[in-house]
Structure 1
């Protein structure tokens, strides 16, 4: 219902949002499709926006323009923050805002929906942005079936929010598994995984590349605190960003990821082993390398507590 939809455009200057406009010249609804033409703006920068199921399909003429599209469904009293450039190359996006049920929808448009395995209805919890899964460390995970869109011969990025519900320094084998997986496409030496590492660190493992595992420089995980993690392979370097800032980097990496037709696990590997104890939210996977500016923008618009 167009009467329940409010749309505005923000610009970003040095990371600080400012209004460009809040006026809407036209809202046309054709089935599920909402087309909006924004009035009173610089059309050298902005064009019309097409919004489908809260996703921007076409937006800034300049894909590198730092702009935010704010979508507010007044009937549901909800608000979504969308940066158009952060949709480019998105092949998996699970925001866990279902809050119930046994399925986690993939919002990227590639159809990589996930299914809860060894998890229950009461494992859903609420947070400041909606909801998340509270993993119990007992082989529960979200299972995403294998798809070629999640196999990468070149650069890729993984983004997620994670919160431990126990002291990271007390992790040891079986209590729960001391190297639990956050996001894992890996098994038997193929593909990739982002996981916990001893001492409250995070590891980014890639199999087939000359650098198989990169870990953060210091402890970045603490009990009962959300942390934003982005792991990037840009074709030359492997990087880990924590809360929008680069933490670890390894340059001169060569090779290509090894592949096997394995499912993707969120919260454990595809067997349910190396399972995680804590919360995971807003997982994204890209078939390209996110830039430092995009990582910072993701941290700002997805901030959760």
Structure 2
């Protein structure tokens, strides 16, 4: 939707420029009338006040980066119409409409506050030592290091984060996992998950988070190294992914939202895909914990009893080969500007 909003702004600018050309060249009758520019001047003043007082940033109440420049482009075009003595009444009226639309679009770029109660869990991985990770949401969902033996002997290890700080991220491989004991709060009916990921290799079933895998929800990179999310709902099980394919050995901020019959993906703060062919609320899981590094907290040795117990067989499972950092889970669907604000807050600043 952010891309669509940007395209809408560009269309507004283009239409305003086109109207200036065609109306001035084709509608000569207006030239004989007195042109009233009062409404346009009032709208330009209003737009300039909005532009001047707006602050771009990542905090609630601020505007998404780049949005002021888009508004200023439309203001400048409108100012040109006002200053041009040859402007017709039609051009002036069109400028008022275009500037009004641009201001309305600009207001959609304001960052809405994220209610603190909507944050379910936040694991920053800043401890740098030990075998536990703290949940900084205040909900107490701390995690414990471990291993899923069926995938190998891997254990979570402290590693370098995207800033180059040692011991501020965690690497996973061969069944290394972090377990968060089950709580209904980490199993909401709608969800937003945001985190930093760095894949060591491209591989199938590169699963870095799961709550009973596809019987609850799971987050992963698929065989083409694209971001992939599975949501089990009261209507169906939905597997969806998004371009682009991610490079290995490179940090990316990724996010997914599910709710309101939509699933949206984000890469580095930008919405990359919106799926509107999904339905229902996320189902409730019982008897399984949330895990990072693998897709499920329980695995079966064979497929024999799956239809009865729905425990994921090892041969259908998967583990993550790479590093993770700054995991957040919300119990609501965050907006594109809210996702962008998280990315801008956590990214490496130039």
CA distance in 1, matches of 2:222, 2:291: 17
CA distance in 2, matches of 1:265, 1:229: 18
* Higher strand content, 1 or 2: 1
Match of 1:116?
145
1:265 aligned to 2:299? no
Counterpart among 233, 243, 246 of residue 217 in structure 1: 243
> How far did 1:15 drift?
2.2
Counterpart among 191, 202, 224 of residue 199 in structure 1: 224
CA contact (8 A) 2:64 2:341 kept: no
Counterpart among 308, 318, 322 of residue 278 in structure 1: 322
Deviations 1:173-231 (A, max 9, x none): xxxxx2021221134x4221111111111111001244611111331x21111111111
> How far did 1:93 drift?
0.6
Consecutive unaligned residues of structure 1, counting only runs of 5 or more, are: 1-8, 17-63, 68-83, 172-177
Match of 2:169?
132
SS of 1:101's partner is coil
CA contact (8 A) 2:254 2:267 kept: yes
SS of 1:280's partner is strand
Deviations 1:207-263 (A, max 9, x none): 1244611111331x2111111111101222111111111112211422232222210
Distance 1:181 1:304, change over 3 A: farther
Distance 1:88 1:245, change over 3 A: farther
Deviations 1:124-175 (A, max 9, x none): 013217500011x21101111111111122x211111100123x2xx2xxxx
Match of 1:162?
197
SS of 1:255's partner is coil
Q: Bigger radius of gyration, 1 or 2?
A: 2
Distance 1:254 1:295, change over 3 A: same
Matches within 5 A, 1:1-305: 12-15=62-65, 66=111, 85=114, 87-118=116-147, 120=155, 123-127=157-161, 128=163, 131-135=168-172, 137-153=173-189, 155-166=190-201, 168=202, 171=203, 178-187=204-213, 189-208=214-233, 209-210=235-236, 212-219=238-245, 221-261=246-286, 262-269=288-295, 270-271=297-298, 274-304=318-348
CA contact (8 A) 1:116 1:142 kept: yes
SS of 2:114's partner is helix
Consecutive unaligned residues of structure 2, counting only runs of 5 or more, are: 1-58, 67-108, 148-153, 300-316
CA contact (8 A) 1:91 1:150 kept: yes
TM-score by length of 1: 0.66
Runs of 4+ deviating beyond 6 Å: none
Distance 1:143 1:232, change over 3 A: same
SS of 1:85's partner is coil
CA contact (8 A) 1:91 1:286 kept: yes
CA contact (8 A) 1:129 1:304 kept: no
CA distance in 1, matches of 2:164, 2:327: 13
SS of 2:319's partner is coil
CA contact (8 A) 2:64 2:110 kept: no
